[in-house]
Structure formats: C-alpha cells, structure tokens
Amino acid sequence: MLLQLANDSHIRSDFFTLAIKVASHVDIIEVGTPALLAHGMELVRETKAAFPGHKVLADAKIVDGGYLEAAMAFQSGADIVTVLAFAPVKTIQETVKAAEEFGGQIMLDTLAIESIEEFASKVAPFSPDYVCLHTSADLSNVGEDSHLTGYAEKMGTLRRILPHTMIAVAGGISLDNLPVLLSLRPDVVIAGRSISRAENPVEAAATMKKRMAGSI
C-alpha cells in the first residue's frame, strides 16, 4: 500500500519545504493542480530532479488534448499523469498512447462520475494503470468519513471489472478516517491537507505510513 502526498501548494518554496520534510515517509509526490497551474511543467521537472527515487504524479486532470498534454507531463519527468474519468474515450485512449510511448502511467480520476460500473466498463479495454476514487476538496472535510461509505461497493465493482488496475482513494483522508479505508485495502492512499496543515507534517505523514503498514 502506497502513500501519496497531494502537494497543492502554489508557492514554490512552501511546495518544496513540505516535500523535503515528508519525502522519507511517502512513496508518490504529487504536483497538485494548483501548483501545476502556478508553475507549469517546470515544477514537475524540478520535483523529479529533487526526488529521483520517488514516483512523481502530475495532477493535470486532462480532459482534452490527451496525447499532447500527457506527453508534455511525461517528458517533464512525471511518472504518473491524471486524466478525468469523464473525458471522451478518444482522449483517454490518447493519454494511454502517450503513457506507452514514454513509459509512464495514467491515473483516471473519478470526480463527478455517478456510475462506477458504467465508467469501468468503458475503460476496461485500456486496462488503466490506476483509478482514483475521489471526493473533491469542496465536498469533503478532513477527517470526515461520510463520503467514504460508498467506497467499498465502488472498489468491489472496480476490482471485478478492472482486476489489473490499482485503486487509489482520495478526499479528506486523515488519521481519523484512515481505519475505514485500510479495511478496504486500497493500493494507494492520497493525503494532502491532513499532512500539509498538520501541526507537525512529518509526524502526520510518518504515523499514517506506519498505520498503513500495520506497525501501529
């Protein structure tokens, strides 16, 4: 089970301060959408250069121009690029093409997807690397778990239709609601605000990682 830092800071110095502090406790460093909008692919390049031993995810949330935008991210050093799950099938196909060409991976983000079964059936021919069950920051408060109640059924559907796809979970995840998620055994846990806004981000990330490993 991997821990992904959703690093959304649009201030470059804050972005790297947080990443440096918690890098030893996370597996994937995400260049979050606000950071990507503020600094572009140059920040992806800098992040990969600073953390060559980590996977770097560019949260581009691609919805059009699939090949070009994915290729730009991969050429900048991203290992994983996000694509919104409601994007046209052709767009998803083009991002997969770019991933295959550049040796990267695609994460399909299920924001605003109402039918997981319909979505999974649509993308099954592409066998996506990752699917992220995601409740938006606007709809989820850190530590709440009401929005996680439907994840068990959704994960069951994904595992049935996409057996080779890794499942990530995101949206207000913290130490308070982590036990709910751990019982579902996702492949990737994505945490942002619960780490970045913690009084001690290092302790927050380290504790989360230890609990994911079952050591505490």
Q: 56-91: per-residue pLDDT in tens?
A: 999 999 999 999 999 999 999 999 999 999 999 999
pLDDT tens figures, 147-202? 677 888 999 999 999 999 999 999 889 898 898 889 899 999 999 999 999 999 99
pLDDT at residue 38, as a whole number: 98
Q: CA–CA separation, 58 vs 44, rounded Å? A: 7
Q: Where are the domains of the chain?
A: 2-213
pTM of the model: 0.94
pLDDT, mean over the chain: 93
> Quick one: which of 26, 63, 20, 24 has its CA closest to 6?
26
pLDDT at residue 143, as a whole number: 45
pLDDT at residue 146, as a whole number: 61
What band does 214 get if pLDDT is binned at 50, 70 and 90? confident
152 vs 99 pLDDT, higher one: 99
CATH superfamily, with its number, for domain 2-213: Aldolase class I (3.20.20.70)
pLDDT at residue 142, as a whole number: 47
Of 33-47, 125-139, 152-166, 167-181, the range with the lowest mean pLDDT is 125-139
The 3-state DSSP class for residue 195 equals helix
What band does 108 get if pLDDT is binned at 50, 70 and 90? very high
Q: CA–CA separation, 173 vs 154, rounded Å? A: 17
pLDDT at residue 136, as a whole number: 67
- How far lies 111's CA from each of 10, 18, 58, 82, in Å? 21, 26, 16, 11
